[in-house]
């Protein structure tokens, strides 16, 4: 097995954290890293003990859910709560930070942002990052790299296609399934 890079490792951690999100609109995860060590993590969700979107629906004002705290803010607030300095560290996040998170990130002293997916990238956020000397780099995330059961899944699908073929399925029927399987597993 090929060893993943630090950037891929940290991005995988962000995606894992995003699975804890209680937002029904977009699951986001973020971690703060210093010296290749995770010092904090967060996901988008409600305040501790508050109502969650998954239970009560989103509370949307001006096309934005105000019930949630963004993943980046949750990670920063975790550092604040426990007295962990973040100056000169890096932040990894599943989606490009919003403008409000951008300002908080800059004010905290974080110097590097790594994000996986574009999401309503605000041009002013990019301008603020540049003015503040914060480097921003997109690190595409390939979920297949961390799917440790991918080989077993591929074999299952291949066996199913062989069984369909042995039962008389035509190439016309099998070809779309084969293409979907190849796309899914990157073959």
In angstroms and rounded to an integer, the radius of gyration of the C-alpha atoms of the chain is 20
Cα angle 125-36-78, degrees, rounded to a multiple of 5: 60
Which positions ≥6 away from 113 have C-beta within 8 Å? 90, 91, 93, 97, 105, 129, 134, 135, 136, 137
Which residue, among 62, 71, 18, has the nearest Cα to 44 in the 3D structure?
71
Catalytic residue among 72, 88, 143, 165: 72
Q: Determine whether 88 is an active site residue.
A: no
Q: Name the residues annotated as catalytic.
A: 72
């Amino acid at each position: 097995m090929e060893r993943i890079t630090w950037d891929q490792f940290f991005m995988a951690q962000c995606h894992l954290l995003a699975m804890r999100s209680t937002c029904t609109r977009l699951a986001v995860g973020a971690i703060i890293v210093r010296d290749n060590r995770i010092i904090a993590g967060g996901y988008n969700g409600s305040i501790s003990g508050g109502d969650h979107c998954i239970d009560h629906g989103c509370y949307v004002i001006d096309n934005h859910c105000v019930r949630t705290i963004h993943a980046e803010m949750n990670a920063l607030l975790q550092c604040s709560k426990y007295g962990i300095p973040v100056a000169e560290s890096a932040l990894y996040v599943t989606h490009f930070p919003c403008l409000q998170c951008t300002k908080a990130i800059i004010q905290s002293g974080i110097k590097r942002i790594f994000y996986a997916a574009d999401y309503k990238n605000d041009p002013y956020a990019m301008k603020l990052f540049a003015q503040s000397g914060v480097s921003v780099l997109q690190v595409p995330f390939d979920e297949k790299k961390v799917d440790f059961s991918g080989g077993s899944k591929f074999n299952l699908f291949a066996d199913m296609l062989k069984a369909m073929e042995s039962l008389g399925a035509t190439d016309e029927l099998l070809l779309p399934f084969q293409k979907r399987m190849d796309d899914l597993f990157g073959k």
